[in-house]
Structure 1
Amino acid sequence: MKIITTRILLGLVVLGLCSCNSVKSTSPTNNSQNNPQTQPPIKLAGSSSSVTVLKVLTEAYQANNQTATFEFVSQGQSEGAIAALKNGIVDIASSSHKLKPEEDNGKIQYRELAEDLLIVATHNSVKGVTNVTTDQLKSIYAGKITNWKELGGPNAKILVLDRPEDESAKKLLRKYYLGQDKTTTQAVILNKEGELIDTLQSTPYSIGAFSLAYSLINQLPVNRLNLNGTAPNKANFTNGKYQMVRHLGLIWQKTPTSNTQKFIDFVFSPEGTKLLQDKGFIPHN
């Protein structure tokens, strides 16, 4: 398989925490030493598939709390973000899976935040294909269907963009559609969801799976596919017709700082819930 990776600028060896390239928030003032009114930064880490919800929430919080600052420490895997929290490197971790018993050291707490539908989409060059069945999707990922014309689309080779087997997107694809069939060796494996999205947008005739909310928030010009005739939307999730969804949660210390607690209170407030709904997430009841 072809593997696309990014150069790690700052290494942090904690389970799956694959990068520690600190990304400062876009707040006009970020340095509490230069501005005594600015709060110490709240440090966050999350899986690449859950960082979108963190950015939505932090940007909205800062809009009404201009002294608040955030520092994104990692966009790796959920396991790495949780390890960073337990080691005191960050204040909040986001995860695309529920906290496992073996991950709980008794000093942290987990709360489910929202569901995020996983969609299968193609580059907008794929005309004439709006729906695929389970068998067709399995055949695409297995390399048995290799040209879009076999599905009523253009006469062009299909390029499968995929995620590693231990990532939530691939696990969900296998659970609901792919089963245990081997993925074609011609697939391009991308370590982060953002890399897959960027590659899909710039690569004609490609196909991949990623966040519906991200697609809606950024108004991506991609071709979102129906699966077995079912569109990936909130209504079909609610009525049980579309089940491929990620469960996003937040984890923080049981005794957080006051700044962290204020942000957490906002996240789970009616205002935070409405914000998530407006951005395409399905807030957890």
Structure 2
Amino acid sequence: MTIINWINSVFMATVFMLSASQCWSQATGTEQTTLTAAGSGVNLGITRLLATAFTKVHPELTIDVPGSIGTRGAIQAVVDNAIHLGLISRPLKAEEEARGIVALPYARVAIVIGVNPMVKEQAISSSELIEIFKGNKTRWKDGNEIIVQAREKSDSGFLVLEKNIPGFREVYEDSHKNNRWTLFYTDQDANHALSATPYSIGVSDQGMISTEHLKIKALRLDGVEPGPETLLSGKYPLSRQLSFIYHKGNLTDAARKFVNFVFSIEGHKILESNGYLPLN
């Protein structure tokens, strides 16, 4: 199955679930309202935590956060009015904004060079990372083979590495051209493989490690510890922005209530306790 077919299949499943929830409400005559928020796998864990806290104070609302349909899937679903809120992990492109999509950035999170806990190293340099993805550095200091976990070219985490680590873009493009590494097409699959594969290395973020209880160790990069403090100070260079998206003029009352909760003091506390830097 190609990545496009996969996105389409998950997208259609999400549309079906949304339609089913609407029909259920109509059939039972209840006042329960279901809000569907779907998109990038990066956003799922924290969105579910926020949704759980939100529905405790708004029991009349239910928030459905299905499996990943990706940022591209979220954008298409919003355009088609198939979901109430989209979840994206990169800024919108100009042509996407031109389709009437509005983005509400709510947090930044440190992207990390993550390794399986069996790796003894605690830090890595940019030059070492490049040599690993080139295929030149193949073993950890204890002699065990380095198992590289990679993503598709459009992955938001690797795009940040390409932008902020000099020389990484060329190396990563070459690795794709030569089919050098195993590719994963969802954040959850990539994180699971990194957690389960001894001596592996890949890319994750602090928020997913916390909210999904992942067995992934974040390495210091060029001597800097990843985290909200080093992001805020500018010392740590790798981060991504999480946003809600909706179609202009089509933000429902339920969606607005949830967004307001995320930007509230309580919402910010949940973000901060899971390694995110809240945005105002």
Distance (whole Å) between structure 1 residues aligned to residue 94 and residue 102 of structure 2: 11
Runs of 4+ more than 6 Å apart: none
Among candidates 146, 155, 169, match of residue 179 of structure 1: 169
Aligned-partner Cα distance in 2 for 1:157–1:141 = 13
Q: In the superposition, relative to structure 1, how do residues 106 and 270 fare at CA in structure 2: closer, same or farther (>3 Å)?
A: farther
CA distance in 1, matches of 2:26, 2:250: 25
The 2-side partners of 1:146 and 1:218 are apart by 29
Q: Does 1:264 align with 2:259?
A: yes
Q: After superposition, what is the alpha-carbon deviation per residue over 1:202-228, rounded to whole angstroms, capped at 9, x for unaligned?
A: 111111111211112344333221111
Aligned partner (choices 270, 274, 277) of residue 275 of structure 1 = 270
Give 1:156's aligned residue: 144
Q: How does 1:194-205 map to 2 (within 5 A)?
A: 194-205=188-199
- Cα offset, 1:77, TM superposition: 2.3
Q: 3-state SS of the aligned residue for 1:145?
A: coil
Q: Distance in 1 between matches of 2:74 and 2:261?
A: 21
1:1-285 counterparts in 2 under 5 A?
A: 8=6, 11-12=8-9, 19-22=11-14, 31-33=24-26, 36-73=29-66, 75-105=68-98, 107-127=100-120, 129-148=121-140, 152=141, 154-177=142-165, 178-181=168-171, 182-183=174-175, 185-253=179-247, 254-285=249-280
CA distance in 2, matches of 1:204, 1:73: 29
Q: Deviations over 1:96-150 (max 9, x none)?
A: 12222211256442211100111111111112x11111110001111110111xx
1:219-274 CA distances to partner (integer Å, 9 max, x unpaired)? 43332211111111112111111010001111123232222222222122222122
Q: Deviations over 1:142-195 (max 9, x none)?
A: 1110111xxx2x221111001111110111122222231122733110001110
CA distance in 2, matches of 1:267, 1:234: 18
Amino acid in structure 2 at the alignment position of 1:85: V
- Provide TM-score, normalisation by structure 1: 0.84
Structure 2 CA distance for partners of 1:229 and 1:217, relative to 1, 3 Å? same
After superposition, the Cα gap between the structure-2 partners of 1:263 and 1:100, relative to the gap in structure 1 and judged at 3 Å, is same
Structure 2 unaligned segments of length 5 or more: list them.
none
Q: Which amino acid in structure 2 is aligned with residue 246 of structure 1?
A: R
Give aligned-pair identity as a percent: 24
TM-score (norm 2): 0.85
Matched residue count = 268
Asked if the contact 1:24/1:71 (under 8 Å) is kept, the reply is no
**Contact map agreement 2:191 2:214 (CA 8 A) in 1:** no
Q: In angstroms, what is the RMSD of aligned CA positions?
A: 2.7
Q: Distance in 2 between matches of 1:116 and 1:4?
A: 29
Give the Å deviation of 1:74.
5.4
Structure 1, unpaired ranges of 5+: 13-17
Cα gap change, 1:68/1:44 in structure 2, threshold over 3 Å: closer, same or farther?
same
Compared with structure 1, are the counterparts of its residues 88 and 24 closer, same or farther at alpha carbon in structure 2 (3 Å cutoff)?
closer
